[in-house]
Structure 1
Amino acid sequence: MEENSGIPINDNDCLKLEPKSKACPRPKPGEAAGGCAFDGAQITLLPISDAAHLVHGPAACIANSWESRGSHSSGPRLSAYGFGTSLSEQDIIFGAEKKLTRSIEYIAERFKPPAIFVYSTCVTALIGEDLDTVCADVSARLGISVIPVNSPGFVGSKNLGNRLAGESLIQYVIGRTEPERISAYDINLIGEYNIAGEMWDIERLLNRVGISIMSRITGDGRFNEIGHAHRAKVNMVVCSRALLGLAKRMEQTYHIPYFEGSFYGAKETSYSLRQMAYLLNDRDLERRVDRLIKREEARLAIELRPYRQILKGKKAVLYTGGVKSWSVISALKELGIKVVGVGTNKSTAEDINRIEDRVGEDVDYIAEGGAKSIIKAVKDRKADLMIAGGRNMYVALKEQIPFVDINQERHTAYAGYDGLLRLAKQITFAINHPVWEMVERPAPWDVGGDR
């Protein structure tokens, strides 16, 4: 036993512990608020649009995140169906493995998908449903991939669910199929979920220099396409908090190099393109990328000029997570906006280091979630704008703070060079909206006179 493990072996050991020592960490009530592990697994896997996604649990779990994401599909829509076993009290008492088997058989017969992802929930994990065995038996009998996703909500946060979903992909999907063609410029995008169609903007940009996407993991993804991700030459990890472990496993197993990058902001986009070309080790590709970057940055400088004049010197509080916690800072700085507060509760240590590199110490780090902390940062720093997820929108409006939605529920794509232009427009419209002048005026009945 390690000296400082804090885990007693017997009663005598307990007496030797310091008063402040704890035997083991205890779960905190509400720790999964803002997204549990089950929710995180669905965020990662639901964008695989031609697969069926079956929730083994109560009806409330099915409705938890159904159609609440902005992930778009260019083809199949099977993943939009809300499949679930909808457990009753009797199912919980007597077990529901037979009900799960019948549900899988029905989906396979009725929809004939290439795969069915089966998600455990808090209830089914607590009553001991053997998800792995049921999925293996039905898969062997029906000849279809039935994949267990063991991510009940109580095991941890949404980010843990993302990683558990990545484990399911590496264990049951990646390496199981072969592509029809292979080129020297095939890459995988990992942790990009095609929010508001951002994947399509990225793909068009890559195609202009001859880079092709082998597997989309998982935005606008297809099950068989993800199966041959092991044949790509480079992995780009877009959201490191979610699926960095998947990239590391693929590097160990298939010797595919990876890097962490972003497409938010012109500088981050240019860096990612250059890093791809470098890892693909093709000098001609590097020249094509340099020419594309030069053209796009010159065009963007002209088109952003009127927005930069308006936004220069404005202050913003950014409350998001993962890759956006630092990459959107770069995009805002390019627009002349100073970030005076940033959320870190969903960021890795590496993300926080990147934040510090971009904003320094003169910023409020919002480590704990909640509208109260965000509003305090806005007021203390006299910020002109709040950039956060949709759940904070109404708080901002009540406090008369201009607001821009940056999270996964949004309907505007902000990735790439064109995405930065869209972000500039949205922020300008939010700050200059005439409603802010109207709410500052006294009400007619307060100033007297005719209404």
Structure 2
Amino acid sequence: MGTIGKSGWIPEPDCEHSTPAKKGCPKPKPGDSAGGCSFDGAQITLLPIADAAHLIHGPAGCAGNSWEARGSLSSGPTLYRYGFNTDLTEQDIIMGGEKKLRQAIDMIVERFSPPAVFVYSTCVTALTGEDLDAVCSAASDQWGVPVVPVHSPGFAGNKNYGNRLAGNALFKHVIGTAEPDESTLTPLDINLIGEYNIAGEQWDIEALLGKAGIRVLSRITGDGRFQDIRYAHRAKLDVVVCSRALISLARNMKETYGVPYVEASFYGARETSFSLQQIAYELQNKELDDRIGRLIRQEEDELARELAPYKKVLRGKRVVLYTGGVKSWSVISALQELGMKVVGVGTNKSSDEDISRIKERVGNEAELIPEGGAARILKVVRDRKADIIVAGGRNMYVSLKEQIPFLDINQERHVAYTGYVGLRRLAKDLTAALENPVWKLVNRPAPWQGGETYGMEM
């Protein structure tokens, strides 16, 4: 990530919107935490490292507000689910909390023996001037365990900025700090960056890559392991999965270790096939190219047969998609492949590049929704005569009150929608939401309005 200059922009050479005329992403304003603060963004990025301990240095509220709000799954260790917190009080804020932080680190290492401890600063500890680096360094020297400081106070900016701060912490303190056994490496080793294994989506991606013979060396960070991430610099390719906020990490790895990167999306068959072809091209392996070609043909043929009955229901249905960041454009492709028409798209957490990709896919047919709120979403639904809302769980009750079918697409969900298998699940769930018999019932007149009576006759 570039430094923040006097111009008020954050330069990022590999972002298309970072040009001499427009220097980069807008510098976050202090307190700009709409849709999640920097601290929240850093947690989202690092918490999926399942075998590490994650310690929040601040008041208990900082830990409790968003802990386990995302469904990042682990195939083994569960230490990441422990909510470690120094629980600073007014007394600690006055007298200093560094001693309490050191005691917390010591307790965690002694009791749990983690491969690493991530220590997150918060608004309070950043304002009081806690020397996070010194405490973490001293603890690491004593115990021989990496203790990684993550400077991500909430007031620094929004969630995306916190993602970048977490990526910086990984690049500075973790990646390249250990070497794997050379005999275990393969020419088809890649890193997945920016996939957090929500509802197990990374497992579906890995299974698909495995069919082509591609191995994931480091998961950054869904279902991640600390030691594997230390080896990330030995991969042959970085695949940035739907997370422009971590583009700086990929660029730093390219400049420092010579690891090239591509951006990929696995939402929808078209995006999935294109991403597989991109990976094969970058790895420059003829056999892999042939295998992926066969795999794509096989998966797309099977998918076409299985989607046929769902498309009869979904074709022509109008959707308002309200989600953040890259899902705002990548999910559009999946919905369009099912024959649906996207008539409204949320952009409040999307970068300039995300918004340009949205416009490429929907043209002028969809209304962009830059800010949230039930009233704004409902206005778009009514004006555009939408049949269903696809959004995060917090908007579910809005749709239920207004008697509009709804599908949860955000981090709280329990269903994976990536890859070919994910598109099948998406089609099935959309169909179930639209055809649920409750919508026919709630739209009938009540008995006292002349409608039919239900249940026992009085």
The offset of 1:149, in angstroms, is 0.5
Contact 1:241 1:347 in 2 (8 A): no
- Alpha-carbon distance change, 28 to 139 in structure 1, aligned in 2, over 3 angstroms: closer
Which ranges in structure 1 are unaligned for 5 or more consecutive residues?
Answer: 7-23
- Aligned partner of 1:396 among 383, 388, 399: 399
Counterpart secondary structure, 1:192: coil
- Alpha-carbon distance change, 246 to 359 in structure 1, aligned in 2, over 3 angstroms: same
TM-score if structure 1 supplies the norm length?
0.93
* Cα deviation 1:336-380 (Å, max 9, x = unaligned): 001011111111111111111111122101111222221111111
* Cα deviation 1:63-92 (Å, max 9, x = unaligned): 122121110000000000000001111011
Contact 2:28 2:158 in 1 (8 A): no
Contact 1:71 1:220 in 2 (8 A): yes
Task: Read off the aligned partner of 2:412 and give its amino acid letter.
Answer: E
Q: For residue 45 of structure 1, what is the aligned residue in structure 2?
A: 46
Q: For residue 138 of structure 1, what is the aligned residue in structure 2?
A: 139
Which ranges in structure 2 are unaligned for 5 or more consecutive residues?
Answer: 1-5, 9-25
Deviates more, 1:290-299 or 1:392-401: 392-401
1:313 aligned to 2:312?
A: no
- Aligned partner of 2:376 among 373, 377, 382: 373
Contact 2:175 2:229 in 1 (8 A): yes
Contact 1:216 1:226 in 2 (8 A): yes
The offset of 1:5, in angstroms, is 6.3
1:386 aligned to 2:368?
A: no
Q: For residue 60 of structure 1, what is the aligned residue in structure 2?
A: 61
- Aligned partner of 1:433 among 418, 429, 436: 436
Q: For residue 11 of structure 1, what is the aligned residue in structure 2?
A: none
The offset of 1:124, in angstroms, is 0.8
TM-score if structure 2 supplies the norm length?
0.91
Task: Read off the aligned partner of 1:49 and give its amino acid letter.
Answer: A
Contact 1:51 1:114 in 2 (8 A): yes
Q: For residue 175 of structure 1, what is the aligned residue in structure 2?
A: 176
- Alpha-carbon distance change, 5 to 81 in structure 1, aligned in 2, over 3 angstroms: closer
- Alpha-carbon distance change, 369 to 134 in structure 1, aligned in 2, over 3 angstroms: same
The offset of 1:26, in angstroms, is 9.3
Q: For residue 299 of structure 1, what is the aligned residue in structure 2?
A: 302
Whole-angstrom distance in 1 between the partners of 2:276 and 2:166: 27
Task: Read off the aligned partner of 2:408 and give its amino acid letter.
Answer: D
The offset of 1:240, in angstroms, is 2.8
Counterpart secondary structure, 1:247: helix
Q: For residue 247 of structure 1, what is the aligned residue in structure 2?
A: 250
The offset of 1:28, in angstroms, is 7.1
Whole-angstrom distance in 2 between the partners of 1:330 and 1:125: 41
Counterpart secondary structure, 1:193: coil
- Alpha-carbon distance change, 280 to 203 in structure 1, aligned in 2, over 3 angstroms: same
Whole-angstrom distance in 1 between the partners of 2:28 and 2:132: 26
Deviates more, 1:71-80 or 1:396-405: 396-405
After superposition, where does 1:339-350 map in structure 2 within 5 Å?
Answer: 339-350=342-353
Whole-angstrom distance in 2 between the partners of 1:63 and 1:240: 25
Counterpart secondary structure, 2:334: helix
- Aligned partner of 2:212 among 200, 209, 213: 209
Whole-angstrom distance in 2 between the partners of 1:89 and 1:358: 52
Whole-angstrom distance in 2 between the partners of 1:247 and 1:229: 11
Counterpart secondary structure, 2:306: helix
Task: Read off the aligned partner of 1:338 and give its amino acid letter.
Answer: K
Contact 1:55 1:120 in 2 (8 A): yes
Counterpart secondary structure, 1:268: helix
The offset of 1:447, in angstroms, is 2.9
Q: For residue 108 of structure 1, what is the aligned residue in structure 2?
A: 109
Q: For residue 97 of structure 1, what is the aligned residue in structure 2?
A: 98
Q: For residue 420 of structure 1, what is the aligned residue in structure 2?
A: 423
Calculate the aligned-residue CA RMSD, in Å.
1.7
Whole-angstrom distance in 2 between the partners of 1:5 and 1:72: 40
The offset of 1:25, in angstroms, is 8.7
Contact 1:191 1:243 in 2 (8 A): yes
After superposition, where does 1:54-93 map in structure 2 within 5 Å?
Answer: 54-93=55-94
The offset of 1:49, in angstroms, is 0.3
The offset of 1:33, in angstroms, is 2.7
Whole-angstrom distance in 2 between the partners of 1:98 and 1:179: 36
1:127 aligned to 2:128?
A: yes
- Alpha-carbon distance change, 25 to 234 in structure 1, aligned in 2, over 3 angstroms: closer
Q: For residue 276 of structure 1, what is the aligned residue in structure 2?
A: 279
Q: For residue 18 of structure 1, what is the aligned residue in structure 2?
A: none
Counterpart secondary structure, 2:368: strand
* Cα deviation 1:117-146 (Å, max 9, x = unaligned): 000111111111111111011111111100
* Cα deviation 1:218-274 (Å, max 9, x = unaligned): 000000000100001111111233211111111111111111110000010001111
Counterpart secondary structure, 2:213: coil
Q: For residue 13 of structure 1, what is the aligned residue in structure 2?
A: none
Q: For residue 166 of structure 2, what is the aligned residue in structure 1?
A: 165
Whole-angstrom distance in 2 between the partners of 1:135 and 1:406: 38
Task: Read off the aligned partner of 1:316 and give its amino acid letter.
Answer: V
Q: For residue 15 of structure 1, what is the aligned residue in structure 2?
A: none
The offset of 1:61, in angstroms, is 0.8
Contact 1:238 1:323 in 2 (8 A): no
* Cα deviation 1:283-331 (Å, max 9, x = unaligned): 1110000000000000000000000010000010111122211111110
Whole-angstrom distance in 1 between the partners of 2:74 and 2:343: 36
Whole-angstrom distance in 1 between the partners of 2:311 and 2:371: 32
Contact 2:28 2:156 in 1 (8 A): no
- Alpha-carbon distance change, 217 to 28 in structure 1, aligned in 2, over 3 angstroms: closer
Counterpart secondary structure, 2:194: strand
Q: For residue 13 of structure 2, what is the aligned residue in structure 1?
A: none
Task: Read off the aligned partner of 2:89 and give its amino acid letter.
Answer: S
